[in-house]
Amino acid sequence: MATCHGVEVVATLVAPFRARALPWDTFAPTTPGGLALPALGTHGASRRAMAILVTGGAGYIGSHMVLCLVRAGRPVVVVDNLSAGYRELLVEGVPFVHADIADGATMRDVIRERDIDAIIHFAAHTQVAESVRDPRLYWSGNVAATLNLLDAALASGVKYFVFSSTAAVYGEPERCPIDEEAPTHPINPYGESKLTIEQALADYARAYGMRYAALRYFNAAGADADAGLGELHHPESHLIPIVLQAALGRMSEVVIFGRQYPTPDGTCIRDYVHVLDLADAHMAALDDLRCGGDSGAFNLGTGTGHSVAEVIATCREVTGRPIAVVEGERRPGDPPVLVASPERARRRYGWEPRRSSLERIVRDAWAWHLREAAKSSHEPETRKAHAQHR
């Protein structure tokens, strides 16, 4: 183990990090599930490919992104402060820097020492309710820290920036499906923090020539169980993993907040996208930028929504297990329908969410939950599950 400005730097299963000491093709990664992956890069020791920095690469979407890049043979470095990420989600063999993106000096060192020319930025606070309760976290962690990262990138010659944004920038939409021309009126500090960075990226692109893509997610879901990667949050707040935890007996029941929405079954409708499809979209966005594509914002969704009741029914069908449901009060601020129009991403990137049928998403997530349950030796804790409309 080595340090960089006093922070831990780890290259798992390889020699400790030393500036410019290791050619990329010395790394032979494996996933948390033990799958062998291609060696990083095909370039000899005399020349290293320009690398991609993934911030938040020990988190849910970030870890799947790293896996996608490694499978494609792309040199990659992970930075994560592990405040919401987990070491067990790190892809082994990929250089990992345990640091905060707010540390500009460390970010500049990592970017320069690892020949970074592109950043895919996931590191952020992402809980809507928390953002209302403690907005300081979001203005400091999502806005100020990202501006520090952008400045480090600019000072170090980074040319391309792919930003993990959110559908929360739209607030309560006036129409569905939502396209990128819809008004952006976020209704919570989380959405405001993401929109602020989108605006900063547009300014940086005009003033400094940094090319960017802001990818607005709707509802990431699913897993890559064979690779040992899945949705791991403490506490969990997303609908599909909550329902699957109830199927495992870890929660006693699922609470549905409202059955009086103007939808076919009275429950909220959301657009779910497989996490591996999201990773593919990020790589396509980066490739497009590197080929001269214009900067801008892009929705990542399927164009098809599924209700809370439909998700629960699909989980019952896939798992073959009973899932108890109780009805709760409708919550203020929950729009009845949130569905994306992904046409801009389809046209620009040729991207298709090919894994994002609801049955495939639930089946892949369930496989990961079963794998994790088999690893656990203690009895499941029984508690009430609250089905978040996210």
Question: d(Cα 59, Cα 365) in Å, to the nearest integer?
Answer: 16
Phi, psi of 55 (to 5 degrees): -85, 145
* Of residues 128, 172, 132, the one with CA closest to residue 268: 172
149 touches 106 (CB < 8 A):
no
Residue 358, CB half-sphere, CA atoms under 13 Å: how many?
21
Question: d(Cα 85, Cα 87) in Å, to the nearest integer?
Answer: 7
Phi, psi of 30 (to 5 degrees): -135, 155
212 is catalytic: no
Phi, psi of 226 (to 5 degrees): -60, -35
Structure-token match 């899932």, residue found: 323
Indicate the SS3 state at residue 168: helix
Looking at 182-269, list the stretches that DSSP marks H as alpha helix, in order from N- to C-terminal side.
189-208, 239-247
Q: Is 95 left (phi over 0), alpha (psi -120 to 50) or beta?
A: beta
Question: d(Cα 338, Cα 302) in Å, to the nearest integer?
Answer: 11
Question: d(Cα 368, Cα 390) in Å, to the nearest integer?
Answer: 20
Question: d(Cα 71, Cα 63) in Å, to the nearest integer?
Answer: 12
Q: Which of 138, 190, 212, 261 is catalytic?
A: 190
Q: At CA 62, angle to CA 61 and CA 63, rounded to 5?
A: 95
| Amino acid in the structure at residue 23 | P
> Which residues are designated catalytic?
190
